[in-house]
Structure 1
Amino acid sequence: MAMGAADVVPGVSGGTVAFITGIYFRLLGAIGAVPSAFLHSFVRGHWRRFWHEIDGVFLVSLLAGILTSIATLANLITWGLETYPIALWSFFFGLIVASVWHVLGQMKERRWWQLLPIAAGAAFAWWVTTLSAGQVHPGATAFFLSGALAICAMILPGLSGSFILLILGMYGPVLTAVRELDLALVGLFMAGCVLGLLSFARLLGLALRQAHDLVLAVLTGFMVGALNRVWPWQEVVSWRTDSSGNQVPLEQMSVSPMRYAEVTGEPAQITVAVVALLVGLALVLLGEWVAGRRSQAPSAA
């Protein structure tokens, strides 16, 4: 459900949440196993073995949580971003900062040269967050390709699939297709998602097996660079009209709390931001502590 809630917000990655909750590698393994299991087990009628090979209970539980979250929490998160933007973005900021520490802790060895891929990943993610929103013709091909690109970003910590759709100019058309139950366009988008997910997850899993620490360093950089997108104080540079005819921010730029108060005429709420950030940090650290206690329980017994 946390992954679904994150994927609704442009700029927050469901992959980051998967890393925070400790299910990231299991998720990649399960998705990456689908093509091979389908050919060698499902097609031959070995359905029970297929279900076991793809970790079916885990995938179905995860998908159910994501869909439930999108259906039930999307409006709540949208309301929170409109009503308490500084507090909510600060909370997300704290989550990502803590997840950077968490990912670094997953490295088998720490070397000075790992700073280079971290810096490269941060620079790339920062550049992505500063891209101007484009506009492509929302035809069948655009729906299919945007689904493939968005899902790849969605499973990468630090890169938001919904933000990629926003950059491509497909965020509005996709939401409109879902809202209007345009099954043809939604089906094309989902087909792109399936193709991108199965191919990219397998590729990423292979990369992690071959160069574990290098890939984690790049992913850490992605999360560091993405902090620009979730910075609580943003100045709106341009606006767009959503599917309901309302004016919503299109391009934003990170500014200091003082500049934010000067431009918007609203208080910077620094105290609220610090408290929300600390809550986000504490939530991840508490999750790590609980996970550590559970992993030690069997050996202690």
Structure 2
Amino acid sequence: MADHLADRRPPLRPALDLGRGLLIGAVEVVPGVSGGTVALIVGVYTTLIEAASHVVRAVVALGDLPRGRGISRALAHLAAVRWSVVAPVLVGMVLAVVLGARVLAPLVEEHPTATRAVFGGMIAASLLIPVRLLGRSWTWRLSLLAGFAAAGAFLVTGLPSSRVIDPPLLLVALAAAVAVCALVMPGLSGAFLLLVFGLYETTLVAVNERDVPYILAFAIGAVVGLSLFVNLLRVLLARFREIMLALMTGLMLGSLRALWPWQDAFGQATPAGPDAVPMALLALGGAAVVLLVVAMQARLDRPRR
């Protein structure tokens, strides 16, 4: 899977990559929206997966230090990372998560219906990305696989949410290990999984209050989960590209349930309210933003004559 939206003006690249990171990090604090999906939309998904895989293998290589080859192997893996792209993206993600915990999360809390409508429209339109990448490779088998993935995501996103006030740090680490896998898998929302585990609001409070033990436990769990999952995902994307794209399409489609604008306090869908028309317009606006990005991507991908 080749990354897209290739930069034709190198001087603007760091700023563009920083902006991509800001987008990815911002949606990660919104339950139901997948950072992996946004990474796919803005064209850095494969680069980030490859980078994470090399970093994990560099850490593993350090275990070969007694035989004197660990450092050279680790440096070789780190050198293979496209740091010129990955570094500004990561900076943007960290900034967005910190700022999003203070700005975006309260916005979602104060205007949940409107924000879900906007993000729902964006994710619905972003289904074009994996569909477009597969193109004519779609078969009835891949369509059936996408259907099963959509059904699974639909059921998972229908789980009622709760809140754990004072969780043990081991639970925090385990939840982070699972949630970070959703971060790198388009269609699955790490923030939503935290909501299901009852740790979403607790995690936001920990970030805002700089709760070091909580944040450290979360970071350790995330690193462990990413280490176990990212290499597997990298191999699957390389060897079973069509199958993985079909799965991504289904997961993204099924996860739209979490972004149905009208929900009760437990995250369960309710009938549309009298504000159906304004919400539909907001959803169309969100979709239009993604379609604009897709159109720009197609224009940049078009070979110059």
Aligned partner letter, 1:275 = L
Identity of aligned residues (%): 32
TM-score w.r.t. the length of structure 1 is: 0.83
Residue 271 (structure 2) pairs with residue 256 (structure 1): yes
Matches within 5 A, 1:100-139: 100-107=127-134, 109-133=137-161, 138-139=167-168
Residue 79 (structure 2) pairs with residue 33 (structure 1): no
Say which is worse superposed, 11-20 or 173-182, in terms of deviation.
Answer: 173-182
Give 3-state SS (helix, strand or coil) of 1:158's partner: coil
Give the structure 1 partner of residue 295 of structure 2: 289
Matches within 5 A, 1:60-99: 60-99=87-126
Which of 230, 233, 239 is equivalent to 2:262? 233
Aligned length: 275
Q: Distance in 1 between matches of 2:129 and 2:84?
A: 26
Aligned partner letter, 1:191 = I
Give the structure 2 partner of residue 209 of structure 1: 238
Contact 2:163 2:199 in 1 (8 A): yes
Q: 1:72 to 1:42 in 2, by over 3 A?
A: farther
Q: 1:226 to 1:75 in 2, by over 3 A?
A: same
Q: Distance in 2 between matches of 1:46 and 1:197?
A: 18
Flag structure 2 segments of 5+ consecutive residues without an equivalent. Answer: 1-21, 63-68
Give the structure 2 partner of residue 279 of structure 1: 285
Give the structure 2 partner of residue 7 of structure 1: 28
- What whole-Å deviation, never above 9, does each CA across 1:92-113 have from its counterpart, x for those lacking one? 1111111112111111511111
Tell me by how many angstroms 1:229 deviates: 0.5
Flag structure 1 segments of 5+ consecutive residues without an equivalent. Answer: 237-248, 262-267
Aligned partner letter, 1:132 = P
Aligned partner letter, 2:289 = L
TM-score w.r.t. the length of structure 2 is: 0.82
Tell me by how many angstroms 1:8 deviates: 0.7
- What whole-Å deviation, never above 9, does each CA across 1:202-226 have from its counterpart, x for those lacking one? 1111111121111111111111111
Indicate the structure with greater strand content.
Answer: 1
Contact 2:47 2:86 in 1 (8 A): no
Q: Distance in 2 between matches of 1:112 and 1:104?
A: 14
Q: 1:134 to 1:24 in 2, by over 3 A?
A: same
Tell me by how many angstroms 1:155 deviates: 1.7
